Structure 1
Amino acid sequence: MKNCIVLFFCILFLFCFASCSDDEGLSKTDYYNLSNLPSDDGGIHSSHLLGEANTPYGYYAYQPSGYDDDQDSMYPILIFLHGAGEKGNSLKHPEYLERILVNGPPKMIENGNWAPKYPMLVISPQCHDESWRADKMKKFVEYIIEKYKINERRIYITGLSMGGFGCFNYVGTFGDESHVTAVVPICGGGNTDQAENFKNIPVWAFHGESDATVAPSQSKSMIEAINKINPSEKAKITLYPNLGHNSWTCTYEGTGIGKENKDCDSFTTDIFTWMLKHEKKESEVN
């Protein structure tokens, strides 16, 4: 009987040890290794109206075809901030939420030409205030982190026009506490006094040189201010000659590659691949 008890505890110990080893292995491979993610053959793009949950924004969520709440894999996430023309209150007018689909990644998803190198969740909130507010954005991002299976080492944010300003404002306000790994603001601008908060967060800005709505100097001044504080990675800016306010379509779809001003940072790889090259260390995850 005594031998049986000893044997039982030995087996129990080995089982617990193996389980802990597996969990540790998952955290280093399946959870964070992009190559272990299942291919995306066309996922689900679902709408979530304002007021459905404790979140400050209504939003669209794209879940890749391999995404499964019951699996262990954790997905990179792209948060897309729209421009002023797509604002709307979906609590009062549910149909307004579809405005999000007219530009950027949500449009690409709807048109069937969304194909980043590795599958990503795409979350597109809808602003119903005058502009994107940093405090609401932080609450929203933390809600999304809690709700979805997200690789917190790979949280990316991009936006156009008002959304470009939103990107600069959100990361500029919260810095490392924003949870953001890398940011791509398009035809936007920000507060140069907040440059220090971009020290550990790579930035790649885009702007049309003939933009009469948002002066390209607004993007330029932000990138110059960030680079003055010697960030961990030099901030980049790509400018398109003879292009007006809509510098987002050719940036998101990659058709602007090779058409940039040769005196600025080159556009030789799509922005989603650039984002995915950046990953926080586990110790940097808030």
Structure 2
Amino acid sequence: MKQQACKLEKEITKKVSLDYLLYLPAGYEETNREWPLILFLHGRGERGTDVNRLQQYGLPKLVEEQEGFPFIVVSPQCPAYTTWGLENDALLALLDDVSARYAVDRGRIYLTGISMGGFGTWNLATEDPDRFAAIAPICSTGPTEKVHMLKDVPVWVFHGSKDTTVPVHHAEEMVEKLKACGGNPRLTIYPEADHAALTPVFYNMEIYDWFLQYSRNNPPIR
């Protein structure tokens, strides 16, 4: 019997689930303003079911220690059996839900992550580039075949030149490919830093001032 050309058309529903930490700025309940939001994606070592582990470094640690941080911060935990690169649907659903529940400025949604979370930053932004006002991947690589999707998104890449886990040439390649398709990314390389040495990036307020320079003129209504 010869093969037949066939086609499947069926609408399906996907269930997603993510635990996450949520930080609301001081004064959130006393004002009617909308607040900028940062989605923070952790690295491979913090996967699992104990969301409090996320407070070991990065933004979840910063907002515990510093008063007056002027962003809503959403820090999801990646399940142990997967990676951020496979969880775009769940992350976008999380942003939809948080944006509907809280006073989020939809024109000022920012994305950052470190290591596995840096790859997730690149990957998620290419999936929905109109969602994010700016992104900051840290010590990571990314999907080079999709980087052209970010030519109109402000990008600031951080990496350590002594990183042996994700060598710095991966970040340089992403930046060069983005430039080649019309993007204007910014690259900061720390000459003495290895893979584990870049969490202090989150304690430099320059990155947050840089985020706030950018806003989507016509953010999508979801």
Shorter-normalised TM-score: what interval?
Answer: 0.7 to 0.9
Contact 1:78/1:157 (8 A) holds in 2: yes
Q: How does 1:233-248 map to 2 (within 5 A)?
A: 234-248=184-198
Distance in 2 between the 1:243 and 1:100 partners?
A: 22
Distance in 1 between the 2:197 and 2:42 partners?
A: 13
Q: 1:90-125 deviations in whole A, cap 9, x for unaligned?
A: xxxxxx111110110111122x23555xx1111100
What letter corresponds to residue 113 of structure 1 in structure 2? Q
Contact 1:206/1:247 (8 A) holds in 2: no
* Aligned equivalent of 2:8: none
1:65 to 5, 23, 26: 26
**Percent identity of the aligned residues?**
32
2:83 to 131, 134, 144: 131
* Aligned equivalent of 1:150: 104
SS of equivalent residue, structure 2 residue 128: helix
Q: Give the structure with higher Rg (CA).
A: 1
Q: 1:180-207 deviations in whole A, cap 9, x for unaligned?
A: 1100010011111111210221110100
Unaligned regions of 5+ residues in structure 1, if any? 1-53, 90-95, 255-268
Q: How does 1:64-83 map to 2 (within 5 A)?
A: 64-68=25-29, 71-83=31-43
> How far apart are residue 249 of structure 1 and its match?
2.2
SS of equivalent residue, structure 1 residue 246: helix
* Aligned equivalent of 2:141: 189
RMSD over equivalenced CA pairs, Å:
1.7
Unaligned regions of 5+ residues in structure 2, if any? 1-14
Distance in 1 between the 2:171 and 2:209 partners?
A: 22
Contact 2:16/2:89 (8 A) holds in 1: no
Contact 1:73/1:149 (8 A) holds in 2: yes
Distance in 1 between the 2:147 and 2:197 partners?
A: 23
Structure-1-length-normalised TM-score: 0.68
What letter corresponds to residue 35 of structure 2 in structure 1? Y
What letter corresponds to residue 230 of structure 1 in structure 2? G
* Aligned equivalent of 1:216: 168
Contact 1:181/1:278 (8 A) holds in 2: yes
Contact 2:132/2:216 (8 A) holds in 1: no
2:55 to 78, 92, 101: 101
